[in-house]
Amino acid sequence: MKNVNSNMVPLDGLGIIPERDAGTPPILDIRHLCVDFGGLRAVDDFTLLIGKTEIAGLIGPNGAGKTTVFNLLTNVYKPTEGHILLNGQDTRGKSMHQLNQLGIARTFQNIRLFSGMTVEDNVKVGMSHGYSDSVLSAMLRLPSWWRTERRQHIRALELLDLFNLADKANTLAGNLPYGDQRRLEIVRALASEPKLLLLDEPAAGMNPSETQGLMENIRMLRDEFNIAIMLIEHDMSLVMGICEGIAVLNYGKIIAKGTPKEIQSNPVVIEAYLGEEAVK
């Protein structure tokens, strides 16, 4: 757990990142992001920095626009204003799979596995770049096909092993228990070797002990792969337990940014969650 509890330091007056990442440019640099759905401004002036190995949290009441932010980051929606720099590169106009190649991978709030395919094949689909065997060499089973298949098989089992799913490699993904499905989605996202992993409510529907296990998994991922992780979560024990920087969203606007400690004692946050009376 070499990275835990690094101090948060300000960067360019725009946000805070972990001290250990201060020497490197932030992995994600979001400036003044806005999106309108018809007359509704779903996300308003969203500015956030995420350090290279930071675990960042995005929280807020239901309907605050958290998933919309994820969808903007992965270009499911086009921002009305503002821009996103991923590792210094503007993501505007890139398709979803190009963004994946640039180093962004995500999971979904409502699980989206390839349920009719095996667990192993789900992970292999995630390994979508870095292989060069052509369609023709696959049809004719040329040596490059054999190499790719062997590499993907070994890598898939390694990744599954991290989450103790290797012995279920041949099960259909749709037949996995719920918690395993959530974790398989993370493995699939990891397979594309992302620099930034977006987890949309990874602990949803998990019991406390599963959540505890997931927390350790997430920390392990960051330490093992040296990546940044941004997560949306309602489970406060998870968010406060592992996130270094937290942004709180309400009605599409960031109402607070800071460390878990600062967020917990921020009256504006408490008001957004519990109502005005709670603050008094």
Partner 1 sequence: MKHYRQIPFFLRYIINAAVLVGFLLLGNGILSSGVMNRAQSSVVLQIGIYVLLAVSLNVATGYLGQLPLGHAGFMAIGAYTAALIWKALPGKSPAVIVLGLIAGGLLSAVFGILIGVPALRLKGDYLAIVTLGFGEIIRVLIINLPGITGGTPGLMSIPKHSSFLVVYITVIVSCVLIHTLMKSRHGRAILAIRENEIAAEASGVNTTFYKVLAFTVSAFFAGVAGGLYAGYTGILTPGNFTFMTSINILVMVVLGGLGSMAGSIIAASILTALPLALQSFNKYRMVIYALLLIVVMIFKPSGLLGRYDFSLSRILEKIINGQLFKKSQKAGEEHA
- Tokens 């990442």 locate to 21
77 is a contact residue toward partner 1 (CB under 8 A): no
- Give least dist CB 139 to partner 1, A: 5
- Give least dist CB 79 to partner 1, A: 18
- Give least dist CB 122 to partner 1, A: 8
- Give least dist CB 203 to partner 1, A: 20
Tell me the site size for partner 1, rule CB under 8 A: 41
- Give least dist CB 9 to partner 1, A: 32
d(CA 261, CA 258): 8
Residue 71 to residues 33, 55, 60, 74: CA-CA distances in angstroms? 12, 19, 16, 5
At 48, the amino acid letter reads L
Structure tokens at 167: 């012995």
- Give least dist CB 253 to partner 1, A: 26
145 is a contact residue toward partner 1 (CB under 8 A): yes
Closest CA to 219 of 206, 208, 229: 229
Contacting partner 1 within 190-209 (CB under 8 A): 191-192
CA 197, chain centre distance (Å): 3
List 20, 80, 131, 234, residue binding partner 1 (CB under 8 A):
131
Which DSSP category does 172 fall into? B
- Give least dist CB 110 to partner 1, A: 11
Q: Residue 265, CB half-sphere, CA atoms under 13 Å: how many?
A: 3
116 is a contact residue toward partner 1 (CB under 8 A): yes
List 140, 220, 268, 278, residue binding partner 1 (CB under 8 A):
140
List 66, 94, 124, 195, residue binding partner 1 (CB under 8 A):
124
d(CA 104, CA 42): 22
At 60, the amino acid letter reads G
40 is a contact residue toward partner 1 (CB under 8 A): no
Closest CA to 193 of 131, 262, 246: 131
List 121, 233, 235, 244, residue binding partner 1 (CB under 8 A):
121
For partner 1, give the closer residue by CB, 19 or 161. 161
How many degrees, rounded to 5, is the angle at CA 80 between CA 78 and CA 86?
55
CB 257 within 8 A of CB 21: no
Q: From the DSSP assignment, how many helices (H) and strands (E) are in the chain?
A: 11, 12
181 is a contact residue toward partner 1 (CB under 8 A): no
List residues near partner 1 by CB under 8 A: 74, 76, 95-97, 100-101, 105-106, 108, 112-118, 121, 124-129, 131, 133, 135, 138-141, 145, 148-149, 152, 170, 172, 188-189, 191-192
